[in-house]
Amino acid sequence: GLRDRRRDRRVWDLHGVMVSENKNLTLAFFFCFSAMFVQFNFNQTKHVCSSFWGY
């Protein structure tokens, strides 16, 4: 009842923080994926990142 509602609100606040920082997270993951795919050529890395994150 009350405890579950409080927990849901905390989860919702955390979700709001994630949404507000979505751009920074996307940039961080973009650089992370670029480092991961460094063995591929740059065009392929850009294509994979753009198709994955919708750039």
Domain count, the chain: 1
The pLDDT of residue 26 is 79
Element (H, E) at 52: helix 42-53
Quote the pTM value.
Answer: 0.29
C-beta of residue 4 within 8 angstroms of C-beta of residue 20: no
The pLDDT of residue 25 is 76
At position 10, the amino acid (one-letter code) is R
Distance CA 48, CA 11 (A): 31
The pLDDT of residue 38 is 72
C-beta of residue 10 within 8 angstroms of C-beta of residue 17: no
Q: Over the stretch 8-47, which tens digit does the pLDDT of each residue have? A: 666 666 666 666 666 777 777 788 777 777 756 566 666 7
| The token pair that represents 28 in the structure block | 């961080």
Domain boundaries, position 12: 2-53
